[in-house]
Amino acid sequence: KKYQQELRFCESVLSEIMSKKYIKFNWCFLQPVDPVALNIPTYLKIIKKPMDFGTIEKNLKAGQYQTAKDFYNDCMLVFHNCYKFNPEGDEVNRMGHQLNEVFDKLWSE
Ligand SMILES: Cc1ccc(Nc2c(-c3ccc(O)cc3)nc3c(C)cccn23)cc1
């Protein structure tokens, strides 16, 4: 029972964070980073565990998360990877912080 409620909460947070209303700062995080398309061959050397909200959505739907905490940890990975690769002040880094703020508010409900 409790697990089902946790799962539904994760689904609601995810659909909100991925919604079009935040397109200005979520669009870089909705699908896996493509190091070839983005011409960033060093990406996979710097980022050991790539993660994005499209992959998280797949994982959630496939029942890959045992707890809400596991879901939360993958969401944090999206943000931490972003801050590690994109220097402070860069556009994508700022987008990460903006989306992170939205996530924190939703998660604290
Ligand atoms: C030369 C260069 C510099 C920065 C970027 N960042 C970046 C990222 C990115 C997202 C998450 C992440 O952990 C790392 C990178 N996604 C993009 C997109 C979709 C378009 C343009 C830039 N993007 C790309 C190329």
State which ligand 1 atom lies nearest to the alpha carbon of 31: 19
Question: Tens digits of per-residue pLDDT, 24-33?
Answer: 999 999 999 9
Q: Which of 27, 86, 88 to mutate to test the pocket of ligand 1 (most atoms within 8 A of CB)?
A: 86
Q: Determine the Cα–Cα distance for residues 17 and 29; give it in Å rounded to an integer.
A: 10
Question: Tens digits of per-residue pLDDT, 81-90?
Answer: 999 999 999 9
- pTM summary value: 0.97
State which ligand 1 atom lies nearest to the alpha carbon of 84: 13
ipTM: 0.95
Output the CA 6–ligand 1 centroid distance in Å: 31
Q: Determine the Cα–Cα distance for residues 32 and 53; give it in Å rounded to an integer.
A: 8
Q: Determine the Cα–Cα distance for residues 56 and 62; give it in Å rounded to an integer.
A: 10
